[in-house]
Amino acid sequence: MSSPSSSPSSTPSEPVREWSEPTLGVVVGERRRLINIGYRLLGSLAEAEDAVQETYARWYALSRERQEAVESPGAWLTTVATRVCLDVLGSARVRRERYVGEWIPEPLPDRTEWMSGRAGGGGAGPADPADRVTLDESVSMAFLVVLESMTPAERVAFILHDVFRYPFAEVAGMVGRTPAACRQLAASARKRVRAAKAPAVPAAGQAGVVRDFKEAWEAKDIEALVGLLDPGATMIADGGGLAGAALRPVEGGERIAEYLIHIAAKAPGLTLLERTVNGRPGLVAQHDGVTVTVAAFGLIGGRVTHIWAVRNPEKLQAWNERS
């Protein structure tokens, strides 16, 4: 099997060679799965797309002979994409230290909403990697936040084995560790997930709470908001220094309610919309048709325990771009 880390002998801008149709079809057909893996590993659709582009650049840079020597192009691509993501995760800690305020994973719209143009408030569905991400519990905002607490090795071993069902022997080859080490990493990650996992709230039940929350916020009804928020609730906002946002978590149901009423008073003209955020009911705030905030919610017992509000415009491109 040709080495995934082989140095490119050509640039991505060069014409793609005319390989056999079956091989080309297999290679191109891997793109959606690679985007799914990349998003879960990195928590960023933009970075996942970059990682996949780098993966394909390395593939097409191989000579025809080296490509034909690859027994499984899909496995080769997955290995390369995983190693690229590991490199990105390794440098993420330094980048996060320079990040302004809190960092939240990039929120994703529901594929059907995106394709119908609803995510951005209208227009035709664009050809964007967002429509290739399968929305399930492994991309819920609560789950992605737990992933952020893991080491890069834990995150990769856990995602590849527990979410994408790769055997530990294959995971070991991708990350350059022994199967036993990968098994231990995944077990450690699993403990983190179990420790943080709240009882599941049915989507319909969460939608009802989110709807009540939206109506209370629109009415500036602080008592109603306090009633919907758990007393120990936490709200985290991510502006990235590019949009106004609380630089530290807002803690406590009453403080969150007061903060939200204050924000509503300072930002007249906002339109709140109920939308699916990372596969769960959430809220989108728009100003003049442009999405400026996407909020995901965590619930326990019918009350809001967590609000993750993304305001960084660089993380809202999938909610605003149109073809």
Domain chopping of the chain, boundaries: 21-196, 203-316
Asked whether the beta carbons of 297 and 310 are under 8 A apart, the reply is no
Neighbours of 286 (CB within 10 A): 19
DSSP state of 310: E
Residues ≥6 apart with Cβ < 8 Å to 189: 150, 154, 155, 157, 158, 162
Neighbours of 93 (CB within 10 A): 10
Q: What's the CA dihedral at 113, 118, 124, 129 to 10 degrees?
A: -50
- pLDDT by position in tens, the chain (length 323): 444 444 333 334 444 444 454 467 778 889 999 999 999 999 999 999 999 999 999 999 999 899 889 999 999 999 999 999 999 998 877 787 788 999 999 999 986 544 333 344 444 344 445 455 666 778 899 999 999 999 999 999 999 999 999 999 999 999 899 999 999 999 999 999 988 876 667 777 899 999 999 999 999 999 999 999 999 999 999 999 999 899 999 999 999 999 999 988 888 888 999 999 999 999 999 999 999 999 999 999 899 999 999 999 999 998 987 43
Residue 215, amino acid: E
Strand partners, 299: 304
> What pLDDT score does 134 carry?
66
Query: The tokens of 296 are what?
Result: 């995901």
> What pLDDT score does 322 carry?
45
CA distance 148 to 247: 18
In 3-state terms, what secondary structure has residue 277?
strand
DSSP state of 210: H
Burial classification of residue 208, based on how many CB atoms lie within 10 Å of its CB (0-12 exposed, 13-18 middle, 19 or more buried)? middle
Burial state string for 3-17 with b = 16 or more CB within 10 A and e = fewer than 16: ebeeeeeeeeeeeee
> What pLDDT score does 115 carry?
36
CA distance 236 to 319: 20
In 3-state terms, what secondary structure has residue 293?
strand
The H-assigned helical ranges of the chain are 21-29, 31-42, 45-61, 64-68, 73-98, 111-115, 141-148, 152-158, 168-175, 179-196, 203-218, 222-228, 253-266, 317-320
Asked whether the beta carbons of 40 and 163 are under 8 A apart, the reply is yes
Asked whether the beta carbons of 141 and 284 are under 8 A apart, the reply is no
Q: ∠270-275-276 over CA atoms, to 5°?
A: 150
* Phi-psi domain of 84 (left: phi exceeds 0; alpha: psi -120 through 50; beta: other): alpha
CATH number of this structure's domain 203-316, picked from the four choices 3.10.180.10, 3.10.450.50, 2.40.10.120, 3.30.70.960: 3.10.450.50
CA distance 242 to 246: 12
Instruction: Look at the block and give the residue holding tokens 């022994």.
Output: 178
Sheet of 303-310: strand order equals 250-251, 229-238, 303-310, 290-300, 280-287, 271-277
In 3-state terms, what secondary structure has residue 13?
coil
